[in-house]
Amino acid sequence: MSEFYASAPIEIGEDLAAAHARAWDRIGRAGSWWDGGQRVAIAAETRHALSCALCRRRKEALSPGPIEGKHDSLGALPDTVVEVIHRVRTDPARLSKRWFRGVIVAGFSEEQYVETVSIVAHVVAIDTMARGLGLDLLPLPLPERGKPSQYRPRGAKPGVAWVRWLEPVDLTEQEAGIYPAGRPTANIMKAMSLVPDEVKSFFDIVSHQYQGPLEMRDFSREYRAISHAQIELLAARVSVLNQCLY
């Protein structure tokens, strides 16, 4: 049994607690393009972004571009990495392809970018749930030693996203199982497939914190304490508040 949330004042399902424990463990270990220390630093910077004065000024501005300055950062990561973390955390709806290209030109590889976005997303999913329930934020994991695998999927190609991705027909044995079988693969699943381990990790959380790909479309029964309609109302309201069409 997972010890995560064992002392929480509200009961968190054992499957979800275990999924969060797995996610936290993975954040502390070397990934594909960042080592454990860098990954934990990205997670810490994700939290720190909420108190950044530059991000707040940009968020309040009609357009974020003209607002210059330096991010309030923890100082453990290069400026370009901090820019990505802070923008994705605090103002994602106004990210643009031009901004993305600028980040890549500044020295970020697409693979590092995808892994960074994934870590931010893991932390946001878990921390936002904690805020909703009035729980203290989980202490970040301790980084483990190890080198990034630098695994680059051979079949990744440019598609309709800003980053290259893997179509289901291009999966090799090493990426097998990252997409659900028997139904079209949604763009949100392909979005991070340039780093396949991040797809596995993030969608492990999705399956337990939301619903799995089959459950979400099976309206013949309910799988959670709230109904499909209640779940989708929440999901849609959050996406509208975030100004996210997807």
Partner 1 sequence: MLLRASGLTQNRAYDLNSVTGAVQDDGGVAHGRRLVEFAEAVLGEDEKTLTRARAALRAGIGPAGLADAAGVVGLFNAIDRVADATGIPLEAEKAEASADFRAALDFDRFGVAARR
Q: Which of residues 9-28 bind partner 1 (CB under 8 A)?
A: 10-13, 16
In DSSP notation, the chain reads ---TTTT-SS---HHHHHHHHHHHHHHHS--SSS-HHHHHHHHHHHHHGGG-HHHHHHHHSS-STT--------SSS-HHHHHHHHHHHH-GGG--HHHHHHHHHTT--HHHHHHHHHHHHHHHHHHHHHHHHTPPPPPPPPPPP--------TT-B--SSSS-B--GGG--GGGTTSS-TTSPPPHHHHTTTTSHHHHHHHHHHHHHHS--TTGGG-TTS--SSS-HHHHHHHHHHHHHHTT---
Interface segment toward partner 1; rule CB under 8 A; list 25-33, 61-69, 70-78, 112-120: 112-120
- Residue 4 contacts partner 1 per CB under 8 A: no
Contacts (CB under 8 A) with partner 1, residues 178-237: 184, 186-188, 190-192, 202, 205-206, 209-210, 216-217, 219-220, 224-237
State yes or no: residue 245 binds partner 1 (CB under 8 A): yes
- Report in angstroms how near the CB of residue 124 gets to partner 1 at its nearest: 4
For partner 1, the closer CB: 91 or 144: 91
Closest contact distance (angstroms) between CB of 123 and partner 1 is: 8
User: Should residue 140 be labelled a site residue for partner 1 when binding is judged by CB under 8 A?
Assistant: no
Interface with partner 1 (CB under 8 A), residue from 21, 47, 161, 180: 161
**Judged by CB under 8 A, how many residues of this single chain contact partner 1?**
76
Does 7 interact with partner 1 (rule: CB under 8 A)? no
